[in-house]
Each structure stands twice: as C-alpha cells, then as structure tokens.
Amino acid sequence: RGVRPLSDCLFCKIVEGTIPSRKVYEDDSVIAFHDIQPQAPVHLLVIPKKHIATMNDCEEQDQMLLGHLLLSAQKIAKEAGLAEGGYRLINNCGRDSGQVVFHIHWHILGGEKLGPLNA
Ligand code: 5GP
Ligand code: ZN
C-alpha cells in the first residue's frame, strides 16, 4: 500500500534518527533537512514523518498532513532566506520523474536563478 513504516526506508531512518541528517525543521508530523547532494546553493528536503511512498499513494485521510507540509515548506523556505528571491518546490513521483527515494518528499531549491524545469 505504500503507507506502512518501512525498516529499510532511508527517510524513515532519518525520521527515527538512526541515519544522521542536517535537520533545519521538525514538528509532530514533518521534518526538513539538507539534501546530501545539493543541486542549488539551498537544497532542502521536506518530508512527512509518516511513510507514504509516492504522490500516487496519498489518500483522502492525508489531506491535513499534505496541507500542513506545504505550509511548513513555506516557513522553511522563508527561514532559509528564500522568500524574496523565490524558490522551486518539487515532488518527483515514480519512474519517469527519476524518483529514487520512495518516501514522499518535496525538494526546496533556491539561492540562485534556477535553470529550466526540465533541463
Ligand atoms: P528524488 O530523486 O527521490 O526526488 O530525490 C531524492 C533526494 O534524496 C536526492 O536529491 C538525494 O541527493 C537525496 N538523498 C539521498 N540519500 C540521502 C541521504 O542519505 N541523506 C540526505 N540528506 N539526502 C539524501
Ligand atoms: Zn519511509
């Protein structure tokens, strides 16, 4: 189903703290941390603590969580100094997008003029 906690999921381990990360935000349901291989001067990842594999696996009951995550991303981007210059918020879903970590996440990219979306 793609919603159960996975003991072999990288981002579940980051949530649990068994794999270290450079955390910039945490609340009851969401965490954000620096991407290990930044593609821009600021490259953060925002994830729900709940294991949801992809956008395809979100359900009606996740509505509050997803809304809360987006508003958290706004706060995190502001806190990172990106409000004025702007930023890109990206979710990759599935094979064609190049998603590699199957625990849903949003990339926050900014800190410079970004290239074309599909470069
Ligand atoms: P995706 O392609 O699935 O949307 O992006 C996954 C992202 O996770 C990539 O940008 C990758 O650099 C990042 N990533 C992969 N492994 C780790 C890790 O162990 N720690 C952190 N902080 N980021 C990771
Ligand atoms: Zn997970």
Ligand 2 centroid, distance to 39 Cα (angstroms): 22
Position 77 scores a pLDDT of 98
pLDDT in tens, 101-111: 999 999 999 99
Is 117 domain-assigned?
A: no
Whether 81 and 112 have beta carbons less than 8 Å apart is answered as no
- Domain holding 53, by residue range, is 10-110
Is 101 domain-assigned?
A: yes
Is 53 domain-assigned?
A: yes
* pLDDT band at residue 55 using 50, 70 and 90 as cut-offs: very high
Position 119 scores a pLDDT of 80
Number of structural domains (the chain) is 1
Ligand nearest to the CA of 51: 2
Active site residues: 105
pLDDT in tens, 3-37: 566 789 999 999 999 999 999 999 999 999 999 99
Is 1 domain-assigned?
A: no
pLDDT in tens, 43-52: 999 999 999 9
How far is the C-alpha of 110 from the C-alpha of 89, rounded, in Å?
9
Is 4 domain-assigned?
A: no
Task: Return the CATH number at 58.
Answer: 3.30.428.10
If DSSP states are collapsed to H, E and C, what string results for 52-115?
A: CCCHHHCCHHHHHHHHHHHHHHHHHHHHCCCCCCCEEEECCCCHHHCCCCCCCCEEEEECCCCC
Is 2 domain-assigned?
A: no
Whether 24 and 34 have beta carbons less than 8 Å apart is answered as yes
